[in-house]
Amino acid sequence: MRRVLMKTALLSALTAALLTLTAAASVVGTGVITADSLRLRSEPNTECATVTYLTEGTGVQVYEVLDGWYEVSYGEYTGYVSAEYVAYTPADGEAVETAVTEETTEVVSAVAASAQPRDAVVDGSSYINLRADASNSADIITTLDEGTELTVLSVDGEWCCVEWEDETGYVNANYIYVDGILMADPRGIVTGSCVNVRSQPSTDSSILTKVYAGSTVELISLEDGWYVMNCDGVAGYISAEYVYPYNPAAASAVGAEAVELAMGYMGVPYVYGGSSSRGFDCSGFTMYIYGLLGYSLPHSATSQWETVGTYVERSDLQPGDLVLFCDPSRSNGKACSHVGIYIGNNEFIHASSSDGVRINSLDESYYNGYYKGAKRLG
């Protein structure tokens, strides 16, 4: 189980922010990336390691002007970028100091948000015990029914310290959800192909880093359509449109594993008849993913519809379910023309004949109109 950001992580993030502010004294200017995607390198040399990628429009602090290179910082990263792709502005003293202060304040705001008490609800069990300490042997203060609303004060592993009415105690984090986020495993799965992590819950705020489809981030809370999150030590905001919380209660163990495996093949090209990591067609993709889990699926969408698993109503879809479609213009009279894997949030991952392995929504007119049904394995 993964842990939500705890006090140590919060202090580390705040300390890093303060160090960024302190470093303002050595800033010689600012820069804006002009290339679509620019490597931030460990040394001023194209042969050196890539630290991260900076996208067009990203602002950086410049610490040193070298021959063809700038030493810069961006968020928690420091390194070197080619001067050819940076619009550089020499330091203006007060203006540079102000820019650094504003960026630091924005980053700290996301960290501070994670430290606030959060409204939560009990789910996944008819009742849970509120205990005097974080131990199954601790005294039971009372029991809380499913649907009970409470306040999470902190999380440590599989225990939440909570407030309920006039009582303060500990409950099992496996049954506590904040904004749909399971406190015992607060993962979010990124569904957008390339998603910005921002310093504020706004598309106008600065970009701290980027995350990619299939990757996981640590979700903290939801704020006006944005998740407060942590990714590899970077605290920031990500649009809820491009990430969904992992929910084991809504998925079988096999289904959840199938989704996790499938996400790892985002971007693999479409190959007619393909069923390997070099290229897939739609049924070859589902056959390959479930083959990794020990299931033998036929290499045909129609055969998977007719011979595999149990039928599932659309209203009962769970991550890992096969979703099938029938476009008469492409089915050649067969029952199905396409198949993918449901990942949650009304979205599915599939091998598209136009774009390879990608994610689409079942609400899109084409997929909604030709939706055939779903089958569940496991």
**Which residues are known catalytic residues?**
282, 338, 350
Q: 74's torsion region: left (phi>0), alpha (psi -120 to 50) or beta?
A: beta
Which are the contacts of 81, defined by CB distance < 8 A and separation ≥ 6? 31, 33, 38, 39, 40, 41, 54, 60, 69, 70, 72
Strands 275-276 and 279-280: antiparallel
Rounded Cα distance, 176 and 182, in Å:
6
Rounded Cα distance, 198 and 112, in Å:
15
Strands 59-65 and 69-74: antiparallel
Which DSSP state fits 232? T
Which residues are 156's β-sheet partners? 159
Rounded Cα distance, 278 and 291, in Å:
16
One-letter amino acid at 187 equals R
Contact call for residues 350 and 300 (beta carbons, < 8 A): no
Rounded Cα distance, 214 and 266, in Å:
7
Strands 194-198 and 275-276: unpaired
Which are the contacts of 357, defined by CB distance < 8 A and separation ≥ 6? 262, 265, 266, 267, 268, 270, 280, 285, 349, 350, 351
Dihedral, 211, 268, 185, 105 alpha carbons, nearest 10? 0
Which are the contacts of 236, defined by CB distance < 8 A and separation ≥ 6? 107, 110, 197, 198, 199, 208, 209, 228, 229
Rounded Cα distance, 2 and 350, in Å:
28
Question: What's the chain's length in residues?
Answer: 378
Strands 86-90 and 310-312: unpaired
